[in-house]
């Protein structure tokens, strides 16, 4: 589990919803406490974010320079981007953690822009801990709901109602008389 969250935190396209459903199932089955599940998700994600930051810090800058030269982006534009990132990058990182879109890539850019490592870690830790708590809870609740829904006493009547509705809709379509216009 830790490895999955680390890879997701680094930026590999691993669906975190599946990871949290798995963690929630382990909590539901009693194989993992809620606190342990949150710590696994938090620790793995923060480790992945830190790897992304370090890669951005040590390897990202030369790559950005190379791409900027290829695309004829002037140094002033890069300097303005870096200035913007120093002003708004960490608050953006905190907000984007909740959307999931581009979060790992922002951790790379924090490294590229050489945002203070300790400020980065502080913001990422708070965002990741809150995120892990909410999504672990959601994964646990989803698992509880799925265990309730997939019991024969619930699934059989729901399946029969769905079957009756499908048969009714098909019957109505087949017996419908077409009126000339």
Residue 44 in this model has a pLDDT that exceeds 90: yes
**pTM for the whole structure:** 0.71
Q: pLDDT value at position 64?
A: 81
From CA 53, how far away is CA 103, in angstroms rounded? 11
From CA 135, how far away is CA 127, in angstroms rounded? 12
pLDDT digits (tens, 9 = 90+) for 92-103: 887 887 776 777
Q: pLDDT value at position 148?
A: 63
What percentage of residues in the chain have a pLDDT greater than 70?
90
Residue 40 in this model has a pLDDT that exceeds 90: yes
From CA 61, how far away is CA 44, in angstroms rounded? 25
Q: pLDDT value at position 161?
A: 83
Q: pLDDT value at position 149?
A: 59
Residue 166 in this model has a pLDDT that exceeds 80: yes
Q: Residue 142, exposed/middle/buried by CB under 10 A (0-12, 13-18, 19+)? A: middle
Cβ 86 vs Cβ 115: under 8 Å: yes
Computed over every residue of the chain, the mean pLDDT equals: 83
Residue 180 in this model has a pLDDT that exceeds 70: no
pLDDT digits (tens, 9 = 90+) for 107-145: 888 888 888 889 889 988 998 899 889 888 888 788 777
Q: pLDDT value at position 135?
A: 85
């Amino acid at each position: 589990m830790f490895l999955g969250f680390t890879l997701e935190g680094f930026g590999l396209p691993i669906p975190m919803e599946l990871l949290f459903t798995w963690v929630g199932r382990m909590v539901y089955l009693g194989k993992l406490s809620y606190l342990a599940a949150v710590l696994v998700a938090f620790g793995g994600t923060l480790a992945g974010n830190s790897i992304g930051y370090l890669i951005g810090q040590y390897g990202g800058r030369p790559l950005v320079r190379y791409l900027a030269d290829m695309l004829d982006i002037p140094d002033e534009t890069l300097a303005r981007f870096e200035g913007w990132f120093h002003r708004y990058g960490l608050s953006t990182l905190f907000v984007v953690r909740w959307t999931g879109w581009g979060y790992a890539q922002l951790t790379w850019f924090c490294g590229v822009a050489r945002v203070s490592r300790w400020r980065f870690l502080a913001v990422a830790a708070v965002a990741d801990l809150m995120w892990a708590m909410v999504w672990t809870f959601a994964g646990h609740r989803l698992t509880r709901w799925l265990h309730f829904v997939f019991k024969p006493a619930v699934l059989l009547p729901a399946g029969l109602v769905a079957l009756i509705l499908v048969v009714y809709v098909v019957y109505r379509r087949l017996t419908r008389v077409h009126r000339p216009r």
